[in-house]
Amino acid sequence: MSIHPTAIVDSTARIGSGVEIGPYCIVERDVVLGDDCHLATRAIIKQGTELGPRNTVHEDAILGGLPQHSNLPERIGRLKVGKDNTFRENITVHRGLHHDEYTEIGDNNLVMVGVHIGHDCVIGNHTVLINNVMLAGHVTVGDRAYVAGGAAVQQFRRVGRLAAVGGYSRAVKDVPPFVTLDGNTSGVVGLNRVGLQRAGYGAEDLRDLKSAYRLIYRSGLAWNEILKRLENEFTKGPAAEFYSFFAGGKYGFMPERRTPNSATIRLYRADGAADDARDTQAKAG
């Protein structure tokens, strides 16, 4: 363990073996730093933060800050970080809002310069968040998702597994797994083929995903019928994940950039009801 003499480390912090804490760092009370973590100059680890092994925190990054909320409760939640993550300069990650809630970050994630991860977010594994990405509170980002620079995700929204979100996108609804969101229009523009191929999916999986994509975005069917067909026709492989993702949606889904007149993709209400008015309009068209 190596701690620079200018660093301030609370005596109650639990520091693992092989940890390096650089100049002018601050490690507050009730902090856990796993083995072989490295804190660069001026990195700040706030109370209630737990880092697993081999995390690297670069200059001026702040992990575990208070939630940005106008009515903070008396007791704040925690931040849990897995292993082998890289947090670049000037990022901010906030703790859970309530004492029994967490902001959670998995393993092997790359969080680039200036990213903000709000309270109660859940970040999976092997994600990449490019410079200045903004995740509001309660956002979920699935494994191997890629969010490009300057993109913003509204609170409580989900970015599905292996989705690719273009730079400066505005994700005001859920981004389904495996799709690409265009940075200029914030519309879905097809499957994330590069990410899927890098993840090892073969021709059969890609064919099923393409068929499911066409059903979702271009069939023109009522939403309940789309859900039923997703559940019954795509029962294995990555395409099977579409049903659970869409069935669990509460805030709608990002539409396709150029949607044919006959196509529909409606909000999924809590009671499961379809939007009858839009159904009627789609059939009339």
Q: What are phi and psi of 94, to 5 degrees?
A: -105, 155
Q: Among residues 47, 41, 46, 39, which one has the least CA distance to residue 19?
A: 39
Please indicate whether residue 138 is annotated as part of the active site: no
Quickly count: other Cβ atoms within 10 Å of residue 100's Cβ.
8
SS3 call for 223: helix
Q: Among residues 172, 167, 173, 123, which one has the least CA distance to residue 148?
A: 167
Output the DSSP codes for 148-211.
-TT-EE-TT-EE-TT-EEPTT-EE-SBB-TTEEE-TTT--EEEE-HHHHHHTT--HHHHHHHHH
Quickly count: other Cβ atoms within 10 Å of residue 197's Cβ.
11
Please indicate whether residue 98 is annotated as part of the active site: no
* Residue of 82, 137, 160, 183 with catalytic role: 137
* Residue of 119, 149, 174, 208 with catalytic role: 119
* Residue of 107, 120, 174, 208 with catalytic role: 120
Please indicate whether residue 137 is annotated as part of the active site: yes
Q: Which residues are catalytic?
A: 119-120, 137
